[in-house]
A = this chain, B = another copy of it.
Amino acid sequence: MASFSIHGDIIWTESPDSFRYIEGGYLNIEDGLVESVSSESTSCDILETDGSLVIPGLSDLHLHAPQYPYAGLYMDEELLEWLEHHTFPEEAKYRSLEYAEKAYSILVDDLKHSATTRVSVFGTIFTDSTLLLMRKLSDSGLSGYVGKVNMDRNSPDYLSEETVASISETLRFLESAPECSIKPIITPRFVPSCSDELLRALGGIAEERGLPIQTHLDENPSEIEWVKELCPWAGSYADAYDQFGLLNSRSIMAHTVWPDDGEIELLRKRGAFVAHAPSSNTNLSSGIAPIRRFIDEGIHVGLATDVAGGSSLSLFRMMQDAIGASKLRWRYVDSALRPLRFPEAFYLASKGGGAFFGSVGSFEKGWDADAVVIDDSICRTALRDELSVPERLELYAYRHPDESVKAKFVQGRRVL
Protein backbone atom coordinates (compact mmCIF):
# COMPACT_ATOMS: atom_id res chain seq x y z
CA MET A 1 0.00 0.00 0.00
CA ALA A 2 1.70 3.13 -1.24
CA SER A 3 1.29 6.73 -0.19
CA PHE A 4 -1.43 8.98 -1.51
CA SER A 5 -3.26 12.17 -0.66
CA ILE A 6 -6.88 13.25 -0.51
CA HIS A 7 -7.44 16.87 -1.53
CA GLY A 8 -10.50 18.56 -0.02
CA ASP A 9 -11.88 20.50 2.91
CA ILE A 10 -10.59 18.40 5.77
CA ILE A 11 -12.15 18.50 9.21
CA TRP A 12 -11.77 16.46 12.40
CA THR A 13 -11.78 16.74 16.19
CA GLU A 14 -8.77 16.01 18.39
CA SER A 15 -10.59 17.06 21.55
CA PRO A 16 -14.34 17.40 22.08
CA ASP A 17 -14.17 21.18 22.40
CA SER A 18 -13.57 22.27 18.85
CA PHE A 19 -12.94 21.33 15.26
CA ARG A 20 -9.63 21.40 13.48
CA TYR A 21 -9.91 21.98 9.76
CA ILE A 22 -8.20 23.13 6.61
CA GLU A 23 -9.93 24.35 3.48
CA GLY A 24 -8.39 22.99 0.30
CA GLY A 25 -5.85 20.90 2.18
CA TYR A 26 -4.32 17.46 1.77
CA LEU A 27 -4.83 14.42 3.94
CA ASN A 28 -1.55 12.65 3.36
CA ILE A 29 -1.66 8.89 3.88
CA GLU A 30 1.22 6.41 4.05
CA ASP A 31 0.88 2.67 4.47
CA GLY A 32 -2.64 2.99 5.78
CA LEU A 33 -1.77 5.62 8.37
CA VAL A 34 -2.25 9.37 8.52
CA GLU A 35 1.07 11.06 7.72
CA SER A 36 -0.18 14.65 7.95
CA VAL A 37 -2.88 17.11 7.16
CA SER A 38 -1.23 19.92 5.31
CA SER A 39 -1.60 22.61 2.68
CA GLU A 40 0.82 20.55 0.61
CA SER A 41 0.65 17.03 -0.73
CA THR A 42 3.41 14.58 0.12
CA SER A 43 2.49 12.26 -2.76
CA CYS A 44 1.96 12.48 -6.51
CA ASP A 45 -1.06 10.22 -6.18
CA ILE A 46 -3.80 12.68 -5.33
CA LEU A 47 -7.53 12.08 -5.07
CA GLU A 48 -9.32 15.28 -6.00
CA THR A 49 -12.67 15.60 -4.22
CA ASP A 50 -13.84 18.81 -5.88
CA GLY A 51 -14.33 20.76 -2.69
CA SER A 52 -15.93 17.96 -0.73
CA LEU A 53 -15.65 17.53 3.00
CA VAL A 54 -13.18 14.92 4.20
CA ILE A 55 -13.84 13.56 7.68
CA PRO A 56 -12.51 10.68 9.76
CA GLY A 57 -14.45 7.43 9.48
CA LEU A 58 -17.17 7.14 12.09
CA SER A 59 -17.62 4.31 14.58
CA ASP A 60 -20.91 2.64 15.45
CA LEU A 61 -20.32 1.06 18.86
CA HIS A 62 -23.52 -0.95 19.03
CA LEU A 63 -25.95 -2.36 16.51
CA HIS A 64 -27.93 -5.55 16.08
CA ALA A 65 -27.43 -6.83 12.55
CA PRO A 66 -30.45 -9.19 12.53
CA GLN A 67 -32.80 -6.40 13.56
CA TYR A 68 -32.18 -4.21 10.51
CA PRO A 69 -35.18 -5.60 8.56
CA TYR A 70 -37.58 -3.91 10.98
CA ALA A 71 -35.59 -0.77 11.77
CA GLY A 72 -38.27 1.92 11.68
CA LEU A 73 -41.16 -0.39 12.56
CA TYR A 74 -43.00 -1.29 15.76
CA MET A 75 -41.86 1.77 17.63
CA ASP A 76 -44.85 1.94 19.96
CA GLU A 77 -43.54 -0.44 22.67
CA GLU A 78 -41.03 -0.46 25.53
CA LEU A 79 -37.92 -2.63 25.64
CA LEU A 80 -39.09 -5.86 27.24
CA GLU A 81 -42.36 -6.14 25.27
CA TRP A 82 -40.62 -5.12 22.09
CA LEU A 83 -38.01 -7.86 22.53
CA GLU A 84 -40.70 -10.48 23.00
CA HIS A 85 -43.04 -9.34 20.21
CA HIS A 86 -40.61 -8.38 17.47
CA THR A 87 -36.94 -8.91 18.23
CA PHE A 88 -36.89 -12.53 19.28
CA PRO A 89 -39.17 -13.81 16.46
CA GLU A 90 -37.06 -11.97 13.87
CA GLU A 91 -33.73 -13.14 15.30
CA ALA A 92 -34.99 -16.73 15.21
CA LYS A 93 -35.10 -16.54 11.41
CA TYR A 94 -31.31 -16.42 11.27
CA ARG A 95 -31.17 -20.09 12.01
CA SER A 96 -31.56 -20.17 8.23
CA LEU A 97 -28.41 -19.23 6.35
CA GLU A 98 -30.57 -18.41 3.37
CA TYR A 99 -32.50 -15.78 5.30
CA ALA A 100 -29.27 -14.48 6.84
CA GLU A 101 -27.75 -14.10 3.37
CA LYS A 102 -30.75 -12.15 2.13
CA ALA A 103 -31.12 -9.89 5.17
CA TYR A 104 -27.46 -9.28 5.96
CA SER A 105 -26.74 -8.37 2.33
CA ILE A 106 -29.04 -5.37 2.62
CA LEU A 107 -27.58 -4.24 5.94
CA VAL A 108 -23.98 -4.57 4.78
CA ASP A 109 -24.66 -2.71 1.56
CA ASP A 110 -26.33 0.14 3.43
CA LEU A 111 -23.47 0.28 5.95
CA LYS A 112 -20.98 0.33 3.10
CA HIS A 113 -22.56 3.49 1.70
CA SER A 114 -22.69 5.21 5.11
CA ALA A 115 -19.96 7.23 6.81
CA THR A 116 -19.30 4.35 9.21
CA THR A 117 -15.94 2.58 8.97
CA ARG A 118 -15.89 0.71 12.30
CA VAL A 119 -18.63 -1.31 13.92
CA SER A 120 -19.28 -3.46 16.95
CA VAL A 121 -22.16 -5.72 16.03
CA PHE A 122 -24.47 -8.22 17.69
CA GLY A 123 -25.32 -11.21 15.51
CA THR A 124 -27.67 -13.89 16.83
CA ILE A 125 -27.20 -17.07 18.87
CA PHE A 126 -26.68 -18.90 15.56
CA THR A 127 -22.98 -19.42 14.98
CA ASP A 128 -23.01 -20.08 11.26
CA SER A 129 -25.09 -17.10 10.23
CA THR A 130 -22.94 -14.94 12.50
CA LEU A 131 -19.82 -16.18 10.72
CA LEU A 132 -21.54 -15.35 7.44
CA LEU A 133 -22.15 -11.83 8.71
CA MET A 134 -18.47 -11.44 9.59
CA ARG A 135 -17.40 -12.43 6.10
CA LYS A 136 -19.91 -10.13 4.44
CA LEU A 137 -18.92 -7.14 6.57
CA SER A 138 -15.26 -7.80 5.91
CA ASP A 139 -15.90 -8.10 2.18
CA SER A 140 -17.51 -4.66 2.26
CA GLY A 141 -14.27 -3.26 3.63
CA LEU A 142 -15.54 -2.35 7.09
CA SER A 143 -13.51 -3.11 10.17
CA GLY A 144 -14.54 -4.01 13.71
CA TYR A 145 -16.20 -6.76 15.72
CA VAL A 146 -19.10 -9.17 15.42
CA GLY A 147 -20.35 -11.35 18.24
CA LYS A 148 -22.30 -14.57 18.40
CA VAL A 149 -24.99 -13.77 20.98
CA ASN A 150 -25.37 -15.88 24.15
CA MET A 151 -28.82 -16.51 25.69
CA ASP A 152 -29.59 -19.40 28.05
CA ARG A 153 -32.47 -18.12 30.20
CA ASN A 154 -35.66 -16.06 30.08
CA SER A 155 -35.74 -16.42 26.33
CA PRO A 156 -38.30 -18.12 24.11
CA ASP A 157 -37.65 -21.81 23.39
CA TYR A 158 -37.03 -21.05 19.74
CA LEU A 159 -34.22 -18.63 20.65
CA SER A 160 -32.52 -20.17 23.64
CA GLU A 161 -29.46 -22.32 24.23
CA GLU A 162 -28.46 -24.84 26.87
CA THR A 163 -25.68 -23.35 28.98
CA VAL A 164 -23.11 -25.90 27.91
CA ALA A 165 -24.07 -25.62 24.27
CA SER A 166 -23.90 -21.84 24.43
CA ILE A 167 -20.33 -22.07 25.71
CA SER A 168 -19.25 -24.69 23.21
CA GLU A 169 -20.83 -22.79 20.31
CA THR A 170 -18.96 -19.70 21.46
CA LEU A 171 -15.71 -21.66 21.30
CA ARG A 172 -16.63 -22.97 17.86
CA PHE A 173 -17.42 -19.40 16.80
CA LEU A 174 -14.02 -18.20 17.99
CA GLU A 175 -12.22 -21.03 16.26
CA SER A 176 -14.14 -20.64 13.01
CA ALA A 177 -13.85 -16.86 12.82
CA PRO A 178 -12.28 -15.95 9.49
CA GLU A 179 -8.95 -14.12 9.37
CA CYS A 180 -10.24 -10.76 8.23
CA SER A 181 -10.93 -7.16 9.21
CA ILE A 182 -13.89 -8.25 11.32
CA LYS A 183 -12.88 -9.91 14.60
CA PRO A 184 -14.93 -11.85 17.14
CA ILE A 185 -16.21 -10.28 20.34
CA ILE A 186 -17.75 -11.94 23.41
CA THR A 187 -21.46 -11.07 23.40
CA PRO A 188 -23.72 -12.04 26.29
CA ARG A 189 -27.04 -10.45 25.35
CA PHE A 190 -27.63 -9.03 28.85
CA VAL A 191 -27.96 -10.32 32.40
CA PRO A 192 -31.64 -11.32 32.09
CA SER A 193 -30.83 -13.61 29.14
CA CYS A 194 -27.72 -15.25 30.62
CA SER A 195 -27.31 -17.48 33.67
CA ASP A 196 -24.58 -16.78 36.19
CA GLU A 197 -22.77 -19.89 34.99
CA LEU A 198 -22.79 -18.71 31.39
CA LEU A 199 -21.67 -15.18 32.26
CA ARG A 200 -18.84 -16.54 34.40
CA ALA A 201 -17.69 -18.82 31.58
CA LEU A 202 -17.81 -16.00 29.03
CA GLY A 203 -15.80 -13.74 31.34
CA GLY A 204 -13.22 -16.50 31.63
CA ILE A 205 -13.01 -17.02 27.86
CA ALA A 206 -12.63 -13.28 27.29
CA GLU A 207 -9.84 -13.07 29.84
CA GLU A 208 -7.95 -16.17 28.65
CA ARG A 209 -8.01 -15.11 25.03
CA GLY A 210 -7.76 -11.36 25.49
CA LEU A 211 -11.06 -10.80 23.73
CA PRO A 212 -13.25 -7.71 23.78
CA ILE A 213 -16.78 -7.84 25.22
CA GLN A 214 -20.08 -6.19 24.36
CA THR A 215 -23.36 -6.25 26.22
CA HIS A 216 -26.24 -4.07 27.50
CA LEU A 217 -26.33 -2.09 30.75
CA ASP A 218 -28.98 0.02 32.49
CA GLU A 219 -31.18 0.58 29.45
CA ASN A 220 -34.63 0.59 31.04
CA PRO A 221 -35.94 0.86 34.63
CA SER A 222 -37.94 -2.39 34.38
CA GLU A 223 -34.87 -4.22 33.10
CA ILE A 224 -32.81 -2.88 36.03
CA GLU A 225 -35.42 -4.05 38.56
CA TRP A 226 -35.35 -7.46 36.94
CA VAL A 227 -31.56 -7.64 37.20
CA LYS A 228 -31.80 -6.79 40.90
CA GLU A 229 -34.05 -9.82 41.37
CA LEU A 230 -31.82 -12.05 39.26
CA CYS A 231 -28.58 -10.98 40.94
CA PRO A 232 -29.42 -10.15 44.57
CA TRP A 233 -25.74 -10.70 45.42
CA ALA A 234 -24.55 -7.88 43.12
CA GLY A 235 -24.14 -4.29 44.27
CA SER A 236 -25.48 -3.08 40.95
CA TYR A 237 -26.10 -4.17 37.38
CA ALA A 238 -22.59 -3.03 36.41
CA ASP A 239 -21.16 -4.81 39.44
CA ALA A 240 -22.72 -8.05 38.24
CA TYR A 241 -20.80 -7.80 34.95
CA ASP A 242 -17.71 -6.82 36.87
CA GLN A 243 -17.88 -9.85 39.12
CA PHE A 244 -18.12 -12.07 36.04
CA GLY A 245 -14.99 -10.50 34.55
CA LEU A 246 -16.99 -8.77 31.82
CA LEU A 247 -16.27 -5.12 32.67
CA ASN A 248 -12.90 -3.81 31.61
CA SER A 249 -11.18 -1.52 29.14
CA ARG A 250 -12.13 -3.83 26.24
CA SER A 251 -15.86 -3.78 27.14
CA ILE A 252 -18.69 -1.90 25.46
CA MET A 253 -21.68 -1.27 27.70
CA ALA A 254 -24.58 -0.28 25.47
CA HIS A 255 -26.97 2.44 26.74
CA THR A 256 -26.13 3.04 30.43
CA VAL A 257 -29.13 5.34 30.67
CA TRP A 258 -29.77 4.88 34.42
CA PRO A 259 -26.40 4.36 36.15
CA ASP A 260 -26.10 5.06 39.86
CA ASP A 261 -23.05 6.85 41.28
CA GLY A 262 -21.33 3.59 42.11
CA GLU A 263 -21.74 2.29 38.58
CA ILE A 264 -20.32 5.49 37.11
CA GLU A 265 -17.30 5.17 39.35
CA LEU A 266 -16.92 1.50 38.39
CA LEU A 267 -17.14 2.25 34.66
CA ARG A 268 -14.48 4.89 35.09
CA LYS A 269 -12.17 2.68 37.12
CA ARG A 270 -12.47 -0.20 34.68
CA GLY A 271 -11.98 2.05 31.64
CA ALA A 272 -15.08 0.61 29.95
CA PHE A 273 -16.77 2.18 26.92
CA VAL A 274 -20.34 3.43 26.95
CA ALA A 275 -22.18 3.08 23.62
CA HIS A 276 -24.63 5.99 23.62
CA ALA A 277 -27.69 5.21 21.48
CA PRO A 278 -29.90 8.29 21.82
CA SER A 279 -32.29 7.42 19.01
CA SER A 280 -32.99 3.98 20.41
CA ASN A 281 -33.30 5.28 23.95
CA THR A 282 -36.02 7.66 22.76
CA ASN A 283 -37.76 5.15 20.46
CA LEU A 284 -38.04 2.58 23.25
CA SER A 285 -39.00 5.21 25.87
CA SER A 286 -35.90 4.20 27.82
CA GLY A 287 -34.70 7.66 28.81
CA ILE A 288 -31.62 9.86 28.29
CA ALA A 289 -28.12 8.84 29.36
CA PRO A 290 -26.07 11.42 31.33
CA ILE A 291 -23.42 11.78 28.64
CA ARG A 292 -22.10 15.14 29.88
CA ARG A 293 -21.37 13.54 33.22
CA PHE A 294 -19.61 10.59 31.58
CA ILE A 295 -17.45 13.00 29.61
CA ASP A 296 -16.68 15.10 32.69
CA GLU A 297 -15.71 12.00 34.65
CA GLY A 298 -13.42 10.74 31.92
CA ILE A 299 -15.49 7.73 30.90
CA HIS A 300 -15.03 6.56 27.31
CA VAL A 301 -18.14 7.30 25.23
CA GLY A 302 -18.96 6.59 21.60
CA LEU A 303 -22.17 6.84 19.59
CA ALA A 304 -24.29 3.92 18.45
CA THR A 305 -27.29 3.45 16.22
CA ASP A 306 -28.53 0.39 18.13
CA VAL A 307 -30.49 -0.72 15.10
CA ALA A 308 -33.36 -1.65 15.42
CA GLY A 309 -34.00 0.27 18.64
CA GLY A 310 -32.62 3.04 16.49
CA SER A 311 -34.23 3.26 13.08
CA SER A 312 -31.33 4.81 11.20
CA LEU A 313 -27.84 3.55 10.37
CA SER A 314 -26.57 7.12 10.22
CA LEU A 315 -24.14 8.37 12.83
CA PHE A 316 -24.91 11.91 11.66
CA ARG A 317 -28.46 11.29 12.76
CA MET A 318 -27.09 9.99 16.07
CA MET A 319 -25.16 13.26 16.49
CA GLN A 320 -28.42 15.19 16.08
CA ASP A 321 -30.21 12.90 18.49
CA ALA A 322 -27.41 12.93 21.08
CA ILE A 323 -27.48 16.74 21.09
CA GLY A 324 -31.27 16.90 21.18
CA ALA A 325 -31.60 14.36 23.98
CA SER A 326 -28.96 16.16 26.05
CA LYS A 327 -30.95 19.40 25.69
CA LEU A 328 -34.14 17.78 26.94
CA ARG A 329 -32.22 16.15 29.80
CA TRP A 330 -30.79 19.56 30.71
CA ARG A 331 -34.28 21.04 30.64
CA TYR A 332 -36.13 18.34 32.56
CA VAL A 333 -33.66 16.23 34.57
CA ASP A 334 -30.48 18.06 35.53
CA SER A 335 -29.70 21.66 34.58
CA ALA A 336 -26.17 21.20 35.97
CA LEU A 337 -25.30 19.05 32.93
CA ARG A 338 -25.14 21.43 29.99
CA PRO A 339 -26.25 20.14 26.59
CA LEU A 340 -23.80 18.62 24.11
CA ARG A 341 -22.58 20.88 21.33
CA PHE A 342 -22.04 19.84 17.73
CA PRO A 343 -18.22 19.43 17.90
CA GLU A 344 -18.67 17.23 20.96
CA ALA A 345 -21.22 15.03 19.23
CA PHE A 346 -18.94 14.71 16.22
CA TYR A 347 -16.05 13.82 18.53
CA LEU A 348 -18.10 11.06 20.15
CA ALA A 349 -18.95 9.57 16.74
CA SER A 350 -15.35 9.74 15.50
CA LYS A 351 -12.52 9.76 18.04
CA GLY A 352 -14.67 8.91 21.06
CA GLY A 353 -16.00 5.62 19.74
CA GLY A 354 -13.00 5.08 17.48
CA ALA A 355 -10.77 4.63 20.52
CA PHE A 356 -12.33 1.21 21.04
CA PHE A 357 -10.73 0.09 17.77
CA GLY A 358 -7.29 1.65 18.33
CA SER A 359 -6.00 4.93 16.96
CA VAL A 360 -9.15 5.54 14.94
CA GLY A 361 -11.34 8.56 14.29
CA SER A 362 -8.89 11.43 14.07
CA PHE A 363 -6.39 12.77 11.53
CA GLU A 364 -3.39 12.81 13.84
CA LYS A 365 -0.02 11.54 12.66
CA GLY A 366 0.24 7.77 12.85
CA TRP A 367 -3.49 7.18 13.23
CA ASP A 368 -5.35 4.70 11.07
CA ALA A 369 -6.32 6.40 7.81
CA ASP A 370 -10.08 5.95 8.03
CA ALA A 371 -11.50 8.76 5.89
CA VAL A 372 -14.86 9.57 4.39
CA VAL A 373 -15.53 11.98 1.53
CA ILE A 374 -18.81 13.84 1.71
CA ASP A 375 -20.43 15.84 -1.06
CA ASP A 376 -22.06 18.63 0.90
CA SER A 377 -22.97 20.58 -2.22
CA ILE A 378 -26.34 18.84 -1.92
CA CYS A 379 -27.09 21.13 1.06
CA ARG A 380 -29.00 23.88 -0.70
CA THR A 381 -28.81 27.24 1.05
CA ALA A 382 -28.55 30.86 0.02
CA LEU A 383 -25.73 31.19 2.57
CA ARG A 384 -23.54 28.59 0.93
CA ASP A 385 -20.68 30.92 -0.01
CA GLU A 386 -20.44 32.30 3.52
CA LEU A 387 -20.18 29.05 5.44
CA SER A 388 -17.07 27.88 7.25
CA VAL A 389 -15.99 24.24 7.00
CA PRO A 390 -17.44 23.37 10.46
CA GLU A 391 -20.71 25.06 9.53
CA ARG A 392 -20.87 23.03 6.31
CA LEU A 393 -20.37 19.84 8.31
CA GLU A 394 -23.12 20.77 10.79
CA LEU A 395 -25.47 21.62 7.92
CA TYR A 396 -24.83 18.26 6.28
CA ALA A 397 -25.26 16.36 9.54
CA TYR A 398 -28.65 17.99 10.17
CA ARG A 399 -29.98 18.15 6.62
CA HIS A 400 -28.71 14.99 4.91
CA PRO A 401 -27.82 12.51 7.64
CA ASP A 402 -28.91 9.48 5.59
CA GLU A 403 -27.23 10.40 2.32
CA SER A 404 -24.72 7.99 0.74
CA VAL A 405 -21.13 9.14 1.04
CA LYS A 406 -18.94 9.82 -1.99
CA ALA A 407 -15.86 7.78 -1.09
CA LYS A 408 -14.61 5.85 1.91
CA PHE A 409 -11.23 4.59 3.09
CA VAL A 410 -10.51 2.17 5.91
CA GLN A 411 -6.87 2.05 7.04
CA GLY A 412 -5.95 3.70 3.79
CA ARG A 413 -7.78 1.17 1.64
CA ARG A 414 -10.53 2.51 -0.59
CA VAL A 415 -13.74 0.58 0.07
CA LEU A 416 -16.22 2.85 -1.74
Task: Enumerate chain A interface residues (CB-CB to B < 8 A).
Answer: 68-73, 75-76, 99, 102-103, 106, 109-110, 282-288, 311-312, 320, 323-325, 327-328, 330-333, 339, 341-342, 379-383, 387, 391, 394-395, 397-400, 402
Contacts and interface: CB of A to CB of B under 8 A. Distances in A.
Contact of A394 (B72, B341, B397): B72
Identical copies of this chain, number: 2
Contacts of A383: 69-70
A339 B73 contact: no
15 contacts: A70-B381, A71-B399, A72-B379, A72-B397, A72-B399, A73-B394, A75-B323, A76-B342, A106-B380, A282-B327, A285-B339, A286-B331, A312-B399, A328-B328, A328-B332
B332 A287 contact: yes
Contact of A328 (B106, B288, B339): B288
Contact of A391 (B73, B288, B397, B400): B73
B394 A282 contact: no
By secondary structure, the A interface counts as: helix
B342 A382 contact: no
A341 B382 CA distance: 37
Contact of A380 (B110, B324, B333): B110
A382 B106 contact: yes
B332 A332 contact: yes
A75 B285 contact: no
